[in-house]
Amino acid sequence: MRNAWVIAKRDLGSFFNSPIFYVVTTVFLVIYSFIFFQILNFFSFQSLQAGQAQAMGMSLNLNEMVIEPSLQNMSVILLLIIPIITMRSFADEKKMKTFRLLLSSPIHLKEIILGKFLACMGVVTLMILISSYSVGFLFLLGEPEVGPIVTGYLGVILMAGCFVSAGIFASSLTDNQIIASVLTFGFSLFMWIIGWGAQAAGPVTGQILQYLSIVDHLDHFLKGLVETSDLVYYLSFMLFSLFLCHRVLDSNRWR
Amino acid sequence: MIEVENLTKHYGPRRAINNLSFQIAQGEVVGFLGPNGAGKSTTLNILSCILPASSGTARIMGHDTFEHSLEIRKKIGYLPETPPLYQDMNVRDYLKFAAQVRGVSGKQITSAVERVIGKCSLADVSHRIIGRLSKGYQQRVGLAQAMVHDPDILILDEPTVGLDPIQIIEIRKLIQELAASHTIILSSHILPEITQICQRVIIINEGEIAAVDSLEGLTASLRKSERLSLTLRNSGDQVEEKLKSLQQVLSVLPEENNRFLLECELNSNLQDEIARLALDNKWGLVEIKPLSMTLEDIFLKLTIEEKDVTV
Ligand SMILES: Nc1ncnc2c1ncn2[C@@H]1O[C@H](COP(=O)(O)OP(=O)(O)O)[C@@H](O)[C@H]1O
Ligand SMILES: [Mg+2]
């Protein structure tokens, strides 16, 4: 596992060296902040209209009316930008022929994949953590509940992990970064909307589709619930994508 | 040290190498010679555990390159055709990374990096970004990356390709220095390179071994003809014809400035007869000298002969 960390560290260094990271992070923060303050604004407007007692009402509603929709929106932004973060992982190594260094080194393919995954997760988690300044802002205004905030962020990070693992997998399929990012976006979006088919499908199929939908699992986390089935879903999603990635890279050698 | 038996590799339906068998002893410097597409890179990739073979075995120090690949990778330094350089890193960080992934243990990393920086004369550029270095320096960084874990075997795939003449000479000198303490396999389609560096050549063409021999042996075994160079002061249309009419002359090739290349049978000692012919016809003999057979000719011959067989 030391090797995975060595690879992750190099990739992180390369992220922080490249403008892509700073541009993506800036765009992410600007859009997220805009949405957040929009929501906050709407919230204060409503609470004023309802003539609620500020101190009592806010502590209950801040979670439901501000944090929950903010995180939901954040997950949409993540869906859009994570493909840009992950697209380089293997595509660039293949295009620049640097992959040969890793392949001829005494390290396992597993460690390489894990390293790539950790690096992208590091970047994405960092971005999400920076965005959490907005929560601190809420504590100045009222008393939001801490529990759902923590689980909400956990859910968002796990969901981001699914996008990242899908992105790593897509990146192993090609040496073209654009193709890798489009594939990631397409696949993530599909897993997002797959639940929409639930109503049209039969009861059993519908339930399966609902369970497969990446976004439905986030709701529990946002409400402060950490359920095993959601954790299992997210973790198996990641493991399965990384497993596919391993299969692709391994079989590439046999062609 | 290296034993290859009946090695075959298919890319889909395409056969890149077919039934290669050869051995390389410890300390040898062996050249892999063949035109583009001959299968050199494929063979070297199998030896460096990057590609599995379709059939046959490659063993290094008794270990199979596929089954025990992690063991072998520690002992091999590999420089692919395109050096595996992260363009955005500086030389020192890159070599440190290479040392880490190639399995140098924590405490020895710094000294390993310093050692290869010294050996490959990279001290002046060690803080520069790799992408901004000249091709010659990049190639040296590529070599340094292959040596950083002090491997017993160096596998170098066309190490001088795309360099300018001065850089080529520098890289060759470096490889010659390394030859003293390493087993080296080097591929090339540039012939003088192999003659300068290698003790033994494996000539490979269209995926098959065309010859394995020492340089001297190869030259001797292929000497089916001799060449003479003839320079005249005057010339006429009939020079070529008259030369050709000599019994032992196989072919005549006119060149610039009244120079002719003659290919004749072995040990024919035609100099006297040609001199007489020149005197009789008042050609004005300037010079006549035998040309030694270069590896380049051997090589051309080999590939041509192979082609004739397959057509
Ligand atoms: N990844 C690959 N996929 C399909 N064909 C390949 C691949 N790599 C090499 N080949 C083919 O195999 C043959 C040998 O190639 P290679 O080993 O690169 O030759 P060399 O290094 O001697 O130029 C060539 O005909 C080449 O087109
Ligand atoms: Mg090649």
The predicted complex's ipTM stands at 0.90
Task: Tell me what the mean pLDDT of segment B303-308 comes to.
Answer: 39
Question: Which ligand has the shortest distance to the CA of B161?
Answer: 2
Q: What is the pLDDT of residue A11?
A: 96
Which range of residues forms the domain containing residue A119? 2-253
Mean pLDDT of chain B, nearest integer: 85
Q: Which residue minimizes the CA distance to atom 14 of ligand 1?
A: B39
Chain B partners within 8 Å of A104 (Cβ): 48-50, 73, 76, 78, 80
- The answer to whether residues B7 and B135 belong to one domain is no
Where is the domain boundary, B145, B171, B191? B145
Rounded to whole angstroms, how far apart are CA atoms B209 and B24?
A: 14
Residue B80: inside a domain = no
Q: What is the pLDDT of residue B305?
A: 43
Chain B partners within 8 Å of A13 (Cβ): 89, 93
The count of domains in chain B is 3
- The answer to whether residues B310 and B191 belong to one domain is yes
A199 burial (CB, 10 Å; 0-12 / 13-18 / 19+) is exposed
Q: What is the CATH number of the domain that holds B272?
A: 3.30.70.100
Percent above pLDDT 70 for chain B: 91
User: Is there a contact between B92 and B115 (Cβ–Cβ < 8 Å)?
Assistant: no
- The answer to whether residues B204 and B101 belong to one domain is no
- The answer to whether residues B178 and B198 belong to one domain is yes
- The answer to whether residues B188 and B258 belong to one domain is no
Which range of residues forms the domain containing residue B212? 1-75+152-223+293-311
A123 burial (CB, 10 Å; 0-12 / 13-18 / 19+) is buried
Residue B311: inside a domain = yes
The more confidently predicted of residues B80 and B261 is B80
Residue B107: inside a domain = yes
Strands (E), chain B: 2-11, 14-24, 29-33, 55-60, 63-64, 76-79, 153-157, 183-188, 200-205, 208-214, 225-232, 249-254, 259-265, 285-291
User: Is there a contact between B197 and B214 (Cβ–Cβ < 8 Å)?
Assistant: no
Q: What is the CATH number of the domain that holds B63?
A: 3.40.50.300
pLDDT tens by residue, A41-61:
888 887 777 765 555 555 457
Task: Tell me what the mean pLDDT of segment A209-235 comes to.
Answer: 91
Q: In angstroms, what CA-CA distances link B282 with B235, B244, B260, B271, B285?
A: 9, 17, 16, 16, 8
> Is B156 part of the contact surface with chain A (CB cutoff 8 Å)?
no
- The answer to whether residues B102 and B240 belong to one domain is no
Residue B81: inside a domain = no
Q: What is the pLDDT of residue A139?
A: 87
Rounded to whole angstroms, how far apart are CA atoms A219 and A228?
A: 14
Residue B157: inside a domain = yes
pLDDT tens by residue, B32-59:
988 888 899 999 999 998 888 999 999 9
User: Is there a contact between B1 and B183 (Cβ–Cβ < 8 Å)?
Assistant: yes
- The answer to whether residues B159 and B219 belong to one domain is yes
Q: What is the pLDDT of residue A9?
A: 96
The count of domains in chain A is 1
B201 pairs with which residues across the strands? B31, B213
Task: Name which of A194-198, B53-57, B188-192 the model is least confident about.
Answer: B188-192
Could you say which of A14, A97, A104 has the minimum Cβ distance to residue B78? A104
Global pTM reads: 0.83
The tokens describing A140, both together, are 């100045």
Confidence class for position A255, pLDDT limits 50, 70, 90: low
pLDDT tens by residue, B136-181:
899 999 999 999 999 999 999 999 888 888 888 888 888 998 998 8
Question: Does residue B248 have a pLDDT over 70?
Answer: yes
Task: Tell me what the mean pLDDT of segment B258-267 comes to.
Answer: 81
Question: Does residue A182 have a pLDDT over 90?
Answer: yes
Residue B126: inside a domain = yes
Q: In angstroms, what CA-CA distances link A142 with A39, A42, A55, A242?
A: 15, 15, 7, 42
Do the Cβ atoms of A3 and B101 come within 8 Å? yes
Do the Cβ atoms of B70 and A7 come within 8 Å? no
Question: Does residue B266 have a pLDDT over 50?
Answer: yes
> 3-state class of B155 per DSSP?
strand
